[in-house]
Amino acid sequence: MEPAAPGTNVTLRDVAAASGVSLSTASRALDERGTAPRSAAAVHVRKVAEELGYRRNSFASSLRRGETRTLGVLVPRLSDTVMALMFEELERAASDRGYFAMVATSGDDPDDERRAAETLLDRNVDGLILATARLDDELPKLLRQRGVAHALVLRTDGVSPSALGDDEVGGYLAVRHLIDLGHQDIAVATGPSFTSTGIARLAGARRALAEAQISPQESWLLAAGYGIEHGYSAGEALLGESAKRRPTAIFAANDNLAMGVIAAAHRYQVTVGKDLALVGYNDIPLSSRLATPLSSVRVPLDQIAGNAIDLIVNPGREPHIRKSMPTLIPRASSGSPQRPSGSSG
């Protein structure tokens, strides 16, 4: 079958006629929404359409239905590895469902975030996905009041539709791992107290400590930012010359924090994996490639992305807050089991 000459507009009717099927059958076979039909007739129609050079005008058909098949994704910054990875997964999940994902960055300022959201809404997106982190963020409330379809990703305010990892379970797994290795002197460097992730990961860490009847020093429970520089400052406080006593293990509530702790440990001649056990969070690709590979809690970003998209394109299905289960990935940074005090050999 010869493709159409350049400039020729191949219509759906042409594809139906060449395939020997009805117009409605051809339309269903070529509909990009959801999962493509797999019947022999549908496969045949798609093959004929490709040979003819047929190109479906998704934009026009979406406009007729009052939608653009486009979703806006709002992130603080794409220089953050987790945010970049999250957007890639959202883009992939949107595409699988026949949507296009468009990203905008907002920084950490609420006014900038609101302006970025309005910019996306001005482009008639069908919904917004917010990866911004503050619990005191007013934007989700404003979107609810305006009836704008939206979902929060990697965090929740407890009200808006949300897709995230179970951060409390993740914090528990990290600290339970350190306890199982024999550690009692455990510090936690977690995210900011204005984030649901920081609060939940610390709650999980506290639960593991309480379960093991370990009373942590309050000075070893540090709320920081999520940058490498925050991890370095936490490492200085815990391992530096001013520290009265050093912990033998640290749970850093994201991998950037953990890498900052590693830098501080190096400065104070503390060997990670030997003198200090360390666990991070998110399991970014760099974690396994460090000189001492980092133990980390892996979050299923692909599953979270799919949940976030579905919360917008298939609204009304319960639950509206969907948590995916994290997994601990042990590596060399958490070291070997601690010997009981007084043991020899």
Domain membership of residue 65 (yes or no) is no
Domain membership of residue 208 (yes or no) is yes
Q: Is 173 in the same domain as 281? A: yes
**Cβ-Cβ contacts under 8 Å for 32 (sequence gap 6 or more):** 56, 58, 69, 98
Q: Is 171 in the same domain as 161? A: no
Cβ-contact 55, 10 below 8 angstroms: yes
Count structural domains, the chain: 3
Query: What pLDDT was estimated at residue 342?
Result: 45
Q: Is 161 in the same domain as 183? A: no
Query: What pLDDT was estimated at residue 6?
Result: 44
| CA distance linking residue 76 with residue 317, whole number of Å | 28
Query: What pLDDT was estimated at residue 63?
Result: 43
Q: Which pair of tokens denotes residue 276? A: 């200090």
Q: Is 134 in the same domain as 278? A: no
Query: What pLDDT was estimated at residue 64?
Result: 45
Query: What pLDDT was estimated at residue 277?
Result: 98
Query: What pLDDT was estimated at residue 343?
Result: 42
Write down the residue that tokens 């379970």 correspond to. 169
Q: Is 213 in the same domain as 240? A: yes
E-assigned strand segments in the chain: 70-75, 100-105, 127-130, 150-153, 162-165, 186-190, 221-223, 249-252, 277-282, 295-298, 321-324, 327-329
Domain membership of residue 64 (yes or no) is no
Q: Is 171 in the same domain as 295? A: yes
Look at residues 78, 163, 158, 98 and name the one whose alpha carbon lies nearest to residue 129.
163
pLDDT tens digit sequence for 18-53? 999 888 888 888 876 555 567 888 889 888 888 887
Structural domain range at position 237: 167-299+328-334
Which ranges of the chain have pLDDT less than 50? Answer: 6-7, 58-60, 62-65, 341-345
Domain membership of residue 1 (yes or no) is no
Domain membership of residue 161 (yes or no) is yes
Domain membership of residue 217 (yes or no) is yes
Residue 128 bridge partners (DSSP)? 72, 150
Q: Is 285 in the same domain as 138? A: no
Query: Do you know the residue count of the chain?
Result: 345
Write down the residue that tokens 């039909």 correspond to. 37
Domain membership of residue 294 (yes or no) is yes
Map residue 2 onto helix, strand or coil: coil
Q: Is 187 in the same domain as 253? A: yes
Domain membership of residue 248 (yes or no) is yes
CATH number of the domain encompassing residue 257: 3.40.50.2300
Q: Is 105 in the same domain as 145? A: yes
Q: Is 186 in the same domain as 138? A: no
Query: What pLDDT was estimated at residue 4?
Result: 54
Query: What pLDDT was estimated at residue 315?
Result: 80
